[in-house]
Structure 1
Amino acid sequence: MQDSALSLLPPFVAILIAVWRRNALMALLVGVLLSHLMVANWQPLSGASGAISGFADVFSSTGNVYIICFSLLIGAMVKLLSEAGAVNGFIEHLAKLKLVKTKRQASMLPTLIGSSIFTDTNLSMFTAGMASQQLFDRHKLSRARLAYLLDSTCAPISILFLINGWGAYVLGLLDGFSFDDPVSVLIGTIGYNFYAIIAVALAYYTAYSGKAFGPLASATSLVNTPNESGDTKIGPARVMWVPLIALLAITLTLLFITGDGDMRRGSGSFSVFWAIVSSCVLVIGMISYYRLLSVQAMAKIFVNGLWYMAPVVMILVLSFAFGDVIKALGTGTYVSELMQVEVPLFLIAPIIFLVAAVMAFATGTSWGTFAILIPIAVPIAMQTGLPVSFLVAAVLGGGIFGDHSSPISDTTVVASIASGCDHYEHVKTQLPYALFGAMLTIVIYILIGLSF
């Protein structure tokens, strides 16, 4: 059963359920259970026991625990910054600077903010959107344009500047392959992640030039002012940007230290964990210093932030467990041998990109896509001699494209809300740009594949 055509069944079933039910959690859970049932030669009790052991093994890895804790704590930190008024304070500070006087400057503002706050996609979208809405109205720029700029910077930037939950998650998936320097593999994906690079480049071109194509060129969105929550608390802007800078600086420093002077060989999971712990302590300390929240309020918000990230953590655990059992089944090895014989080398990356794109588009999430396809892409790279970073980047780029284009994606929905744009109009006006970026990416992948 191992290293045979049957080893394709769990990922195939997982993909089918993900597309059919649009539920990554259900897809991964069924994939894990089916995989362990197959490993146990279809013995139900042994399969169930293996699945339980598989979940327990996820927590036996210190690296996995670090990454899970990072994901929980980033949610708590974002909630604290929002409830303490630090986000509102940052927005007010930008308004007081009065740096925006032209249409070009108005368009560049959300693009720059979206590129700068790469620790959390939703935080960057809401911050950039709230800071830009009135400016776009004043300069007669459509909210659809704002939504496009938010969605085309915040999400792609998160997969390029990987000092965030995305990077920690992908690093956890790579750690299971016992690379000497998984951080180097992760960093290597940046240069090959052409879809994300093209998406950001198109956003900057649109913002700077003022030119738009397709439905976006004629978009005249009505101004839909988001409902006010009644929370107008304004905190010092530094309460937001100091911890975010600290998160970046501490992560890089720890990567340097744990890698003995070579960041590529540093412990990514250790570094991001202690960086987020330090940043959370700094946020709590600054909120206490400025008396923005009581101790009881901070405790409640902190716990709410942890619960807010619970679905993400469930996907993390299922992803790690699925990746482990897929390797035990030899699915990646079988697919890599099959593709080596049946598929021309130059088409492997485009195919992986397209499969990831379809999965993420249908499910509205890229994380489940990464969990299913990275354990397959890595063995393919090892068998064919293609760079591991190249094929992993194809998975990441395809996932981002599908997530970026899907009307049921959380990032698409958040971009619509943060900009005050009609959701359908945002999807309609952004899709031509996303499709153009995807087609260009496929062409580039084919040209690179021909060079090997």
Structure 2
Amino acid sequence: MVSGIEAGWMSVVPALVAISLAWSTRDAQIGLFIGVVVAGMVYGALNPASVGVPADLITAGPEILEVAPQGDGDPWSVGLGGVLLGFVFGLKAVPEIIATAPLFGPWYVENVLLAIFAIGGMIGLMIRSGAIQGVLEALSERVDDAADAEKAAFLAGIAVHIDDYFNCLVVGSMMRPLTDRFNVSRAKLAYYVDSAGSPAARLAFYSTWGAAMVGFIGGGLENAASRGSLPAGMSEFVVDGEAVTGAIWPLFFNTLFTGFYSWVALGLAALVAWQIAPNFLEMGEEESRARAGEGVIGEDADPMISEEMDSYQVYEGANPNWVNFAVPILTMIVVGLGAMFWRASPVVYVVGKSGTELLALGSWQLILPPTGPWSFNIGGVRLGVASISALALAFIMYRLQGNVPSLKDGTDATLVGFKGILLAAVILMFASSIQNAVSLLGIGAFITETFGDIPAFIVPVAVFATTSFVSFSDGSSWSTYGIMFPIAIPLAFATGANLPLVLGAVFSGGIFGDHTSPISDTTVLASSTSGSDHMVHVRSQIPYALISAGVAALLFLVLGLVLPESFRVIPY
């Protein structure tokens, strides 16, 4: 059974291999698959005992490295023979790395995998029943040209910003027929979908993200307290070794102002949509070809949507109506958000400072003393339940209307949708496996050792750059936050850097990777629902992301110089 080790610089090798191959081959599946294989082989080379190398062979030959486990435990020495055999035997670890990836955990299965297929099936039904055709006809009355279509795509993403997965799954599917009609490239649509995904969801403090971010900050404060670096003035933030959730919320609200990458990325996307900022490099090539009527994707492109689904036809007896699109989507929104206020949801209890706090990431309950107690719950957006409810409603509604001629036709349409979204699920599986691998190899310890004492004014920009590197390497903002907050918060206390600015740097760096990495789940979803070639989307989006990151880095550097340690927007 695989367990965490501290692999040093080799912890980033699998992600770098995956990203490099995906970039050079223009095939995300190949890059990700080989990256997972490399992860298993690196793990086996460093920990040959765990992959079945006999004990007497592990130390065979000259000793070439010493490996320590994550957490407590004695390090072990590995000889040349052990490394070579472990490298080969490490293939045995690959299935376990995949099987234990976050994507196969209960939350991900319910809220990502099931949601992907349910929404894919619903898209198939919407195409067949004329629901999407109805949306296209309704929007066409208000959209006169490609510029209007781009604005509509950007605004749709902003409107559906409650959750990044929800945004990516819905907006691309909804807007693709409209942008296709006006010859807007699929890469441009994917850029709008992706830019209004994680960057906007990060600012939605009333969603799943808000409670989760408070939890991540709490973990960092607990780590600082365990190291003895928590300032005396913040002693109420950690009691008996556990973070006090109620005290952390004001600290989190400060980061809404210092999450510079989200604000800049959204602002730049708006400038592009309103034709103020130009189409850079590959985006310019994609848009020039599309505007010339030569296709919204290139001839050699590999769009992340099946050709069968992309060319699926409306039933000739259907009555196209935008209402048939709106009802299932609204159902999904109501059910998904309704879970946030359902008392049966797992909660984080937030009470007065003299009360007891219990932490359960993904939701929270607030009890307001002294005139109450009043209470309400905000739970996680349950995409699985919401999307399956919407799929069932759509199937029944379209069949009763006669827009789907038979049960068999409706089932076939649903299956077309399932097949159309399958590629995204495969890439997500491998992307999640890479994320799992770099965590097992101890990327957090590597970052901690690499960055030692640095001046306080450099801390925010250094934390932003480091977090960006980690999130680009592992493709996940949330896993990066789990790595970086326990590092960045004690670092801020130790150096005297402004805490809200450092927290904003962590949040911003995590969003950068989530927004740009070819192994990011939301980047994959943006490509798939927009029908874009995944690597074309990644390459065409990178210049905009780098501009946003550059502006954010400059802000972190300048404000790191001018803001005193005590500065905060909201008192805490």
For normalisation by structure 2, the TM-score amounts to 0.57
1:274-423 alignment, distance < 5 Å = 274-293=385-404, 294-318=406-430, 320=432, 323=435, 326-341=438-453, 344-352=458-466, 354-355=468-469, 368=475, 373=480, 376-381=483-488, 383-385=490-492, 390-401=505-516
For residue 202 of structure 1, the aligned residue among 240, 260, 268 is 268
The equivalent residue for 1:65 is: 109
Query: Cα distance, 1:157 vs. partner?
Result: 0.9
Say whether the 8 Å CA contact 2:516–2:545 is kept in structure 1: yes
Query: Cα distance, 1:60 vs. partner?
Result: 7.8
Q: Structure 1 29/51 Cα, relative in aligned 2: closer, same or farther at 3 Å?
A: closer
Identical amino acids, percent of aligned pairs: 15
Q: Structure 1 328/320 Cα, relative in aligned 2: closer, same or farther at 3 Å?
A: same
1:29-178 alignment, distance < 5 Å = 29-32=37-40, 34-35=42-43, 38-41=46-49, 43-44=51-52, 52-53=95-96, 55-57=98-100, 61-67=105-111, 68-95=113-140, 98-100=141-143, 108-116=151-159, 119=166, 121=168, 124-125=171-172, 127-132=174-179, 150-162=189-201
More helix by share: 1
Query: Cα distance, 1:403 vs. partner?
Result: 5.6
What code does the residue aligned with 2:107 have?
A: G
Distance of 2:426 and 2:149 partners within structure 1: 39
Say whether the 8 Å CA contact 1:55–1:318 is kept in structure 2: yes
Deviations 1:96-118 (A, max 9, x none): xx334699756633433344456
Distance of 2:217 and 2:470 partners within structure 1: 20
1:202-221 alignment, distance < 5 Å = 202-208=268-274, 210-213=275-278, 221=291
Q: Structure 1 398/2 Cα, relative in aligned 2: closer, same or farther at 3 Å?
A: closer
Distance of 1:84 and 1:14 partners within structure 2: 42
Aligned-residue Cα RMSD (Å) equals: 5.1
Say whether the 8 Å CA contact 2:341–2:379 is kept in structure 1: no
Structure 1 unpaired stretches of 5+: 137-142, 360-366
Q: Structure 1 341/40 Cα, relative in aligned 2: closer, same or farther at 3 Å?
A: farther
The equivalent residue for 2:36 is: 28
Q: Structure 1 191/264 Cα, relative in aligned 2: closer, same or farther at 3 Å?
A: farther
Distance of 1:339 and 1:175 partners within structure 2: 24
What code does the residue aligned with 1:75 have?
A: G
Q: Structure 1 27/204 Cα, relative in aligned 2: closer, same or farther at 3 Å?
A: same
More strand by share: 2
Say whether the 8 Å CA contact 1:11–1:31 is kept in structure 2: no
Say whether the 8 Å CA contact 2:435–2:475 is kept in structure 1: no
SS at match of 1:341: coil
Deviations 1:333-363 (A, max 9, x none): 342243243684223333236536876xxxx
SS at match of 1:355: helix
The equivalent residue for 1:443 is: 554
Query: Cα distance, 1:121 vs. partner?
Result: 3.6
Larger radius of gyration: 2
Q: Does 1:231 align with 2:307?
A: no
Q: Structure 1 280/93 Cα, relative in aligned 2: closer, same or farther at 3 Å?
A: same
Q: Structure 1 347/416 Cα, relative in aligned 2: closer, same or farther at 3 Å?
A: same
Query: Cα distance, 1:120 vs. partner?
Result: 5.2
What code does the residue aligned with 1:154 have?
A: V
What code does the residue aligned with 1:285 have?
A: I
Deviations 1:187-214 (A, max 9, x none): 9987665444333323434545x54447
What code does the residue aligned with 1:130 have?
A: P
What code does the residue aligned with 1:62 have?
A: P
Distance of 1:13 and 1:49 partners within structure 2: 16
Query: Cα distance, 1:306 vs. partner?
Result: 3.4
Q: Structure 1 411/101 Cα, relative in aligned 2: closer, same or farther at 3 Å?
A: closer
Q: How many residues align?
A: 419
Query: Cα distance, 1:332 vs. partner?
Result: 0.7
